[in-house]
Amino acid sequence: MAVVAAAVSALGSASSTAQPLNFRIETSSADFTPLHSYVAGEVGHEVMFFCGISGMGMHGVLQNGTEIGFPTTVFSDEAHLFDLETNELFSGSIGHLPDAVREALRVTNAASVQFGHTLYIYGGYGPNLAGDDWHTRDSVTAVDLDAVRVALRDGDPLPASAFQVTQCDACQVTGARIVRMGDSFVLFGGANFAGDYGRKATETFFEQYAIKAHIIDAAISMTAPVETYEQTNFSPPTGIFDPLRRRDMNALPATLPNSEGAPTPGFVIPGGVFRGGFGAWETPMSYSDGDDAIVHHTTFTQRMNQYECPAVSLYDETTGENRFILFSGLSSHTWDGEQFVPIVGGLFNIPWTTEITQIRMEGDVFVEELVVGAMPLPTTNADLVLNPALPTNEHGQVLLNRLPANEVLLGRVFGGLRAAASGVSPATFPSTGIYDVYVVFGVRGDVNRDGVVNAQDLALLLGAWGQSGDDVGLSDLNGDGVVNSQDLAILLSYWGNNTPG
């Protein structure tokens, strides 16, 4: 199947007429463990982490040909559980597990998807257990999260029966991304590395981009794609400017109109590397489940946060718009407070940046990119784990129109690859920190979303008085699940407010 170029025009950075999102980032008092480039699964209010790097920051872009780029000692040899309610962290070794399981888990930049209480881990790059060979795994590892959860909480050894490793040719990628669309999901992009990254100048080193997007139906098989999209419309079809030739990008769920205009689960791909071998991709891609092609949006320019970073997708059921929030990282532009400034030098001069950006779609058109905040430190290779109390659709988008008219905890960013400062080539490290991410949609206290807090909002709140559960609507301003005097006090405290944030 093909990729097509979108023949629509779109704006770059512009002033938005849509209700704004405002973010506040707090450094949590809770501690994590030094870890980046991991995968995570969730059971209720508990999050479990596997794979990743625990012993170093960013690998060198230019290696001298003698130093090992990814020493065996830097790979995580543990699984972790974090309780979102109590802030407790539980850890357990994977060192006793069968060699095939341990080797499948000692990787960086794997992809993952969760169905029920099973996490499926795809590919990833790392050394063998002997430490004399580095390669990209051609496997899918199914993890029984319930069994892992019990063992970690009880302090028992992780049971080998909780991990099932299956060979998968299509899954031999690192830096790929997965987005779920109902019972199916996409395994997008990535590359196959063989050999040590650091010694590629002096030893045999193999790197081949996948240049594919596999659609996999979990009801049929977790390893055999039912559809594969490949680049066929551009010349050269497998060249370095192929829009599917991406790795280490962001990939997010979306709700997009299908060929008949009906809202349909899909995905977007903002950014990725390396375009032309040296630069970041600035033209996003999108897909609506069941489409004949993946759309390459050649008329829209994404200026920041092209590298994998904490991210979230939000959807407004009333307007049909999608918003994709990217929480800092590595960018092809910087922000001077008024405009985006392009960098020069490509791969060797890409700066770390703290800016949080919002990319907005109306229907199937990318319309703008805005700077909407900043992180305390630039952060990549980490997940934003959503607050489980938030309203979401079945494919993981936060529902904007159902958020209360007040500040809420959006989620938490665990660890990650952090830079000590913005700029080119700062010191980097695997973080032990947790960022708590708060968001306000529009004006606080504005229950009817008309931009001002007044008698109309009061009437709506009083009309919902005493309601609980799914009936609270936007009147539950403190998010405790019931409309009562606490919500009334919040609304009155914002009386007359017409300032977003």
For 468-497, write each residue's pLDDT tens digit. 987 788 999 998 999 999 999 999 999 999
Amino acid at 290: G
Q: Which helix (H) or strand (E) holds 42?
A: strand 39-43
Q: Which one-letter DSSP state was computed for residue 462?
A: H
Q: Where are the alpha helices (DSSP H) in 226-287?
A: none
Distance, CA of 113 to CA of 283 (rounded, Å): 25
Do 329 and 378 meet the contact criterion of CB atoms below 8 Å apart? yes
pLDDT at 12: 36
Residue 324, preceding bond cis, omega within 30 degrees?
no
Do 362 and 401 meet the contact criterion of CB atoms below 8 Å apart? no
Give the chain's mean pLDDT: 93
Residue limits of CATH 1.10.1330.10 in the chain: 443-501
Answer whether 0.85 is exceeded by the pTM: yes
- The domain defined by 443-501 carries CATH number 1.10.1330.10: yes
pLDDT at 347: 64
> Is 60 a residue whose pLDDT tops 90?
no
Q: Which helix (H) or strand (E) holds 492?
A: helix 485-493
In the block, which residue shows the tokens 């494919």? 395
| Residue 313 neighbours by CB under 8 Å, 6+ apart | 252, 253, 254, 268, 322, 323, 324, 325, 396, 397, 398
Do 309 and 327 meet the contact criterion of CB atoms below 8 Å apart? yes
Distance, CA of 448 to CA of 88 (rounded, Å): 38
pLDDT at 222: 98
How confident is the model over 428-448, as a mean pLDDT? 98
Mapping DSSP to helix (H, G, I), strand (E, B) and coil, where does residue 149 land?
A: helix
Token reading at 466:
């005493």
How confident is the model over 348-366, as a mean pLDDT? 95
* 45-49-54-59 Cα dihedral, nearest 10 degrees: -110
For 61-108, write each residue's pLDDT tens digit. 655 567 788 999 999 999 999 999 999 999 999 999 999 999 999 999
Q: Starting at the earlier edge strand, list the strands of the sheet with 408-414.
A: 21-27, 434-441, 408-414, 384-386
pLDDT at 64: 57
Q: Are strands 134-136 and 125-127 parallel, antiparallel or unpaired?
A: antiparallel
